[in-house]
Amino acid sequence: MDISTLLGIIIGFGALILGFILEGGHMSSLFLLPPAIIVFGGTFGAVFASFPLREMKKLPTWLKIAFTDKSYGTLEAYETLIRFAEKARREGLLSLEQELEEVEDRFTRQGMQLVIDGTDPDITREILESNIAVMEKRHKVGISVFEAAGGYSPTLGIIGTVMGLVHVLGNLTDPDSLSKSIAGAFLATLYGVAFANLLYLPIATKLKQKDKIEVASMEMIMDGILSIQAGENPSILKEKLKTHLGNIMEPANSRNE
């Protein structure tokens, strides 16, 4: 579990509810079904209308990425690349082929296979960069979905409030229920703004951060693979990879899922 994501959401909503109670409000008045249906149903309807169904089927996967904390295997890749560089220098590139099956990371395995097969360095770089670009494009869809939800939600909240006030103005002959109806109308705005800023947009930001970490990890691996292909000294490669490691936050979603 990614504690920061869960803890941040709990603290955010908890602060809102606690502040409301300290001002004398009652918890029961925060939960009404009609504004919830308008805001949440309208938001998800707008999001589903904005993206292809094949992409929206990935929603559980994006949520899992945001709320789980798994390793890229960056340190393992670093150690593997150093070991490969040392062995290639002693025994040649072909000696690495028998060890590839033990490499769990697909990106590392694919890149090293290209090197062992004698692929032109420019083509190797092009293929690896293409893999990174495809992964970024895939991640951007999930980020865009939650950013869209964060944009639609406040607007749907305002629409829900206006609809509630229309109902209130149409029933001014019943003053006893007037204050309750007005409060219920403004709950829609509360739902829309609160969930946009405490759930949808934070998840989008978390997905962006994890995307950056994964890209940095893959770029480190790509540089290591190209250095091995160029026959660089393992000591120089080690220093080069250490520079990458300093810029990578280790916990993140695994490419192998």
| pLDDT digit string, tens, across residues 22-62 | 988 888 888 889 999 999 999 999 999 999 999 999 999 99
The pLDDT tens digits of the residues spanning 60-108 come to 999 999 999 877 778 888 999 999 999 999 988 888 888 888 888 899 9
For residue 223, being part of any structural domain is answered with: yes
Query: Residues 68, 1: contact at Cβ < 8 Å?
Result: yes
The closest alpha carbon to 218, from 247, 177, 238, belongs to: 247
- Could you give the CA distance from residue 250 to residue 216 in angstroms, rounded to a whole number? 10
For residue 24, being part of any structural domain is answered with: no
Out of 43-52, 159-168, 246-255, least confident range: 246-255
Number of independent structural domains in the chain: 1
For residue 138, being part of any structural domain is answered with: yes
Phi-psi region of 206 (alpha: psi -120 to 50; beta: other; left: phi over 0): alpha
Confidence of residue 174 (pLDDT cuts 50, 70, 90): low
Q: Which two tokens stand for residue 191?
A: 């739902």
For residue 57, being part of any structural domain is answered with: yes
For residue 17, being part of any structural domain is answered with: no
Domain span holding position 176 = 32-76+119-245
* pLDDT higher at 178 or 141: 141
For residue 45, being part of any structural domain is answered with: yes
119 Cβ partners below 8 Å, 6+ apart? 127
9 Cβ partners below 8 Å, 6+ apart? 198, 199, 202
For residue 46, being part of any structural domain is answered with: yes
Confidence of residue 255 (pLDDT cuts 50, 70, 90): very low
The closest alpha carbon to 115, from 139, 94, 99, belongs to: 94
Query: Residues 111, 222: contact at Cβ < 8 Å?
Result: yes
The pLDDT tens digits of the residues spanning 8-26 come to 999 999 999 999 999 888 8
The pLDDT tens digits of the residues spanning 130-148 come to 999 999 999 999 999 999 9
- Could you give the CA distance from residue 105 to residue 76 in angstroms, rounded to a whole number? 9
Rounded to the nearest integer, the mean pLDDT of the chain is 89
For residue 221, being part of any structural domain is answered with: yes
